[in-house]
Amino acid sequence: ARTLKIGLIPGDGIGREVIPAGRRILEALPSSLNLKFSFTHLDAGWETFQKQGVALPDKTVEVLKSDCDGALFGAVSSPTVQTKGYSSPIVALRKRLGLYANVRPVKSVGSGGKVGKVDMVIVRENTEDLYVKEEKTYTAADGSKVAEAIKRITEKASYNIAAMAGDIALRRQRVREAGAESIHSRPQVTVTHKSNVLSQTDGLFRETARRALAEQKYQSVKVEEQIVDSMVYKLFRQPADYDVIVAPNLYGDILSDGAAALVGSLGLVPSANVGTGFAIGEPCHGSAPDIEGKGIANPIATLRSTALMLEFMGEEEAAAVIYKAVDANLEEGRLLSPDLGGKATTEEVIEDVCKRL
């Protein structure tokens, strides 16, 4: 059996209640998969900042770099007032590990909600665009203030994110062909931008993405485009039309939170921060101080993030086993956590999903 080394970064609040679920599901995988796991606990977050003076200790980054095949990140609390020296550890991690993409699958349960079934992935560029944070404020001639920000789009990052979207579309098709149930029958990538207005920046994104996806290996992928505002409209009217959506940083941020709203609870939605050869699975929710310590946090976003991490490690079969078990739990609907209208505890949901592996 191969041994995969996984870094566990629980963080704060319910991060500490859901990250153990990731460990449990990996340990419970059927032995026929021939996988073994070893785990290392790593610090990050607000409590780490209060104890050590840094939210992301160097040791955490070093161990991830030198001694882990993949990792799971829970959630961190941010200080409510601006605190000197504090900066978001997940943002720093993405930078220091070169995790240039944020990948967020959104899948409905059963027949879906009001908008029907949904099964899409949003692939968001994660290093540039307006989030380079190059802002300045100055005073205009009439004495009033003006603020400006740089929106930086590079050919390199646009190419890489589009290629990743193409690869994800092909992999989803393979998973479907291997028997996973889905509303889609062919791979599709929708390139989202606003190049009708921002012809240089979004124009470069659009043009580069189209070139990347025109390559031979993506010939089975249907490539289409959508201007971002009409994308939002269609996302809420006809979400079933979308398989993989690729977008620059800011649009991707907004679209992915919006898409998460289509499926009911934040407690269901996973994500992965992905770079070359490394992925960190991360539930989309925060540290949820309102339910911390009650043992009722929904572990499903973390279980799905664990599967997503495995996909990027090339362990598609193991990932599929987890997705199936989670879907079965949700479809039966007997052991659901309170955010889904049920009465089950975190522990009861984990046990139920593990039994279904």
286 binds ligand NAD (CB under 6 A): yes
* Residue closer to ligand NAD (CB basis): 239 or 267: 267
Q: 288 is in the binding site of which of Mn ion, ligand NAD, none (Cβ under 5 to 8 A by kind)?
A: ligand NAD
Phi and psi, residue 192, nearest 5° = -110, 135
DSSP reduced 3-state for 227: strand
Q: Which stretch binds Mn ion (CB under 5 A): 72-80, 199-207, 248-256, 331-339?
A: 248-256
User: What H or E segment, with its residue span, contains residue 331?
Assistant: helix 316-332
> Min. distance of Cβ 12 from Mn ion in angstroms?
18
**Residue with CB nearest ligand NAD?**
286
Q: What share of the chain is helix, strand, coil (3-state, %, to 5)?
A: 45, 20, 35
| The residue to which tokens 């991707």 are assigned | 252
Q: Across 91-187, where does the E strand assignment appear?
A: 101-107, 119-125, 135-139, 145-149
Q: Is residue 253 involved in binding Mn ion (CB under 5 A)?
A: yes
Residues 288, 15 contacting (CB under 8 angstroms): no
Token duo for residue 356: 């279904």
Report the phi/psi class of residue 198: left, alpha or beta, with left for phi > 0 and alpha for psi in -120 to 50. beta
* Structure-token pair, residue 122: 């949003």
- Minimum Å gap between C-beta 266 and Mn ion is 11
Q: Least distance from C-beta 143 to ligand NAD, angstroms? A: 36
| Residue 30 parent element (H or E) | none
Closer by beta carbon to ligand NAD, 83 or else 276: 83
Q: Which stretch binds ligand NAD (CB under 6 A): 71-79, 124-132, 136-144, 246-254?
A: 71-79
Which residue has its beta carbon closest to Mn ion? 253
Q: Note whether 142 binds ligand NAD by CB under 6 A.
A: no
Question: Cβ closer to ligand NAD: 161 or 288?
Answer: 288
β-strands 101-107, 272-274 pairing:
antiparallel
Nearer residue to Mn ion within complex by CB, 129 or 253: 253
Per-residue mark of binding to ligand NAD, 315-354 (x: CB under 6 A) = ----------------------x-x---------------
Considering only 22-30, 192-200, 219-227, 247-255, which stretch makes contact with Mn ion by CB under 5 A? 247-255
Please spell the DSSP secondary structure of 252-294, one letter per residue: HHHHHHHHHGGGS-GGG---EEE-SS-EEE--SS---TTTTTT
CA-CA distance, 336 to 329, in Å (whole number)? Answer: 8
Per partner kind, with CB cut-offs from 5 to 8 A, the member of ligand NAD, Mn ion, none near residue 290 is: ligand NAD
Instruction: List contacts with ligand NAD (CB under 6 A).
Output: 14, 75-78, 90, 266-267, 285-291, 297-298, 301, 337, 339
Instruction: List contacts with Mn ion (CB under 5 A).
Output: 253
